[in-house]
Amino acid sequence: GMRLLSWNVAGLRAGPGLAGLGALDGDVICLQETRVTRDLLTEPLAMVDGYNSYFSFCRTRSGYSGVATFCKDSATPLAGGAVGCYGDLGAFTPQELKALDGEGRAVITHHGIRTSAQQETTLTVINVYCPRADPQRPEHVAYQVSFYRLLQGRAEALLRDGGHVVILGDINTSHRPIDHCEPGDLEAFQEHPGRRWLDGFLWVPDGQGLFVDTFRLLHPSQPYAFTCWRIDTGARLTNHGTRLDYVLADRALALAELRDARILPEVPGSDHCPVLAELAATFVPAPCCPSLCTRHMPEFAGTQQKLSRFLVRVERGAGAVGGHGMCRGAGVGPRCSARRGRRLPRGQGDLLRYFRAAQGQLGTGMGQNGQESGQNASGHGTREPAQDAPGQRGQEAAHNAPGQSRQLEPMLGQAAGTQLSSMAHWRMVLRGPTLPPCCPAHREPCALRTVRKPGPNHGRRFYVCARPPGRSSDPRACCNFFRWAGKGHS
């Protein structure tokens, strides 16, 4: 059989890492939102032992969007990238096609397979990262709808050309109310343009769609099967999320070959979790990688990383590993080790030294403005007479002339009083933020948040229960406490 896996990693360089991908053991692993452009692609990301990879880069912004498909050598594709049969593109202007293809949101690999009936045919895998539709920005909704139409045209044209097609990726729309933690008004929910597109694109019994949601085919009524959660509210803890990630197979392939479809919420590393489908069919690998494989890029030709390299702990401060230039464009290796031991510029002290110096003032009589006795009020290094450091002067006098100690007692008392008043002043200035109220249900300090949506309350701050959102029956979920921040609000 074969394991097809999809995962929005929310950044390949800072995300779960390729060691985590190897543990998932997918024959074809489709990653979205890699945030890697050609100039940021390094050998450890592109060249992994046992896999050949295919990247699509955003051409309009650096560190944005992007997808990558990793194929096991036993699933080496026949072709990659532009695999023809993209259907009638007459409905799109050249400018629209350039905009839709310019963000690196899709990569295609074309494979030979052998079905469970021992018939050899082809399978085209479309790895896709669909754009998000922001309801507050109509142009984003229109862009998403155009992208869906183009995706559908290409997938159906490939299907008509023969063989099978699977679409894996972040579709960025929850299809049914069961796929959303807060669907709200059902009529408004179903009128969403992305959901209307999915209604026509996907097959249901007695329906016309050509593709099948593999998870819902096997689990039509499973609730709370979410794949994406908000990180800032901790919603993953209470499974308060949405299902945005899909494996969509053509109807004939799904009905004949689908064996399992699962969501893997236990896998950490991103605000999304992986989803996978297992088919009874097997791959028939090509004898060599197609030209668009990353191993054919000039900067990577002749290099290959071992997957075990990512499973072995590397001591901090190590330089380039294996002679492959791990520091290239990555900010690691010798540059990082030098940064760890770098010396601060002259005149710039670290915070720990600052507080040590502040503690020393109480015993050594440093000036009340936090300046050493060798500096004047302007901060320059001109030496001042001894009376600017009364504590120090008193100690020296007491040591050199014991009979004068009684005369110095009032001066020492005055210095201590000055220091105490200075400390009280700083306590008043640095008293910190106002303590938040506690929610009545849990008696726990609330979280301070800011209104981000446009409107009359934009920018206002408010307090809510700090626990993550969730179902009312979940004791771990937040309560409904709300209070505006600032004076005059109760």
Q: Is 129 a catalytic residue?
A: yes
More confident residue, 468 or 410: 468
Residue 234: both structure tokens together: 């901790």
Q: Is 458 a catalytic residue?
A: no
Beta bridge mates, 71: 28, 52
Rounded Cα distance, 468 and 214, in Å: 30
Q: Taking a C-beta distance cutoff of 8 angstroms, is the pair 5, 274 a contact? A: yes
Quote the percentage of the chain above a pLDDT of 90: 48
One-letter-per-residue 3-state SS of the chain: CEEEEEEECCCCCCCCCHHHHHHHCCCEEEEECCCCCHHHCCHHHHCECCEEEEEECCCCCCCCCCEEEEEEHHHCCCEECCCCCCCCCCCCCHHHHHHHHCCCCEEEEEEEEECCCCCEEEEEEEEEECCCCCCCCHHHHHHHHHHHHHHHHHHHHHHHCCCEEEEEEECCCCCCHHHECCCCCHHHHHCCHHHHHHHHHECCCCCCCCEEEHHHHHCCCCCCCCCEECCCCCCCCCCCEECCEEEEEEHHHHHHHEEEEEECCCCCCCCECCEEEEECCEEECCCCCCCCCHHHCCCCCCCCECHHHHHCCCCCCCCCCCCCCCCCCCCCCHHHHHHHCCCCCCCCCCHHHHHHHHHHHHHHCCCCCCCCCCCCCCCCCCCCCHHHCHHHHHHHHHHHCHHHHHHHHHHHHHHHHHHHHHHHHHHHHCCCCCCCCECCCCCCECEEEECCCCCCCCCCEEEECCCCCCCCCCCCCCCCCEEECCCCCC
Query: 376 labelled as ligand-binding?
Result: no
- Residue reference for tokens 């394991």: 3
Query: 170 labelled as ligand-binding?
Result: yes
Q: Give Cα separations from 247 to 30, 120, 147, 160, 426 (angstroms).
A: 10, 22, 18, 20, 60
pLDDT tens for each residue of 260-281: 999 999 999 899 999 999 999 9
Q: Give the pLDDT mean for 458-468.
A: 90
**pLDDT given at position 391:** 42
Give Cα 364 distance to the centre of its chain. 50
More confident residue, 132 or 134: 132
Residue 320 has pLDDT above 60, yes or no: no
Rounded Cα distance, 293 and 213, in Å: 29
Q: Select which of 129, 148, 246, 463 is catalytic.
A: 129
Q: Is 170 a catalytic residue?
A: yes
Rounded Cα distance, 120 and 161, in Å: 15
**pLDDT given at position 317:** 41
Residue 364: both structure tokens together: 């050594």
Identify the weakest region by mean pLDDT among 43-52, 155-164, 283-292.
43-52
pLDDT tens for each residue of 142-169: 999 999 999 999 999 999 999 999 999 9
Confidence of residue 62 (pLDDT cuts 50, 70, 90): confident
Residue 295: both structure tokens together: 């191993």
Query: 33 labelled as ligand-binding?
Result: yes
Q: Give the pLDDT mean for 464-471.
A: 88
Residue of 445, 30, 45 lying closest to 272 (CA atoms): 30
**pLDDT given at position 164:** 98
More confident residue, 421 or 214: 214
Q: Give the pLDDT mean for 295-302.
A: 82
Confidence of residue 355 (pLDDT cuts 50, 70, 90): very low
Confidence of residue 347 (pLDDT cuts 50, 70, 90): very low
**pLDDT given at position 381:** 40
Instruction: Give the angle subtended at the CA of 462 by the CAs of 457 and 468, to the nearest 5°.
Output: 120
**pLDDT given at position 302:** 60
Q: Select which of 170, 179, 213, 250 is catalytic.
A: 170
pLDDT tens for each residue of 212-225: 999 999 999 999 99
Query: 103 labelled as ligand-binding?
Result: no
Q: Give the pLDDT mean for 442-464.
A: 90
Confidence of residue 487 (pLDDT cuts 50, 70, 90): low
Q: Give the pLDDT mean for 61-89.
A: 83
Confidence of residue 318 (pLDDT cuts 50, 70, 90): very low
**pLDDT given at position 368:** 40
Q: Give the pLDDT mean for 431-448.
A: 85
Q: Select which of 164, 175, 240, 272 is catalytic.
A: 272
Residue 398 has pLDDT above 50, yes or no: no
Identify the weakest region by mean pLDDT among 22-31, 54-63, 216-225, 367-376.
367-376
**pLDDT given at position 415:** 56
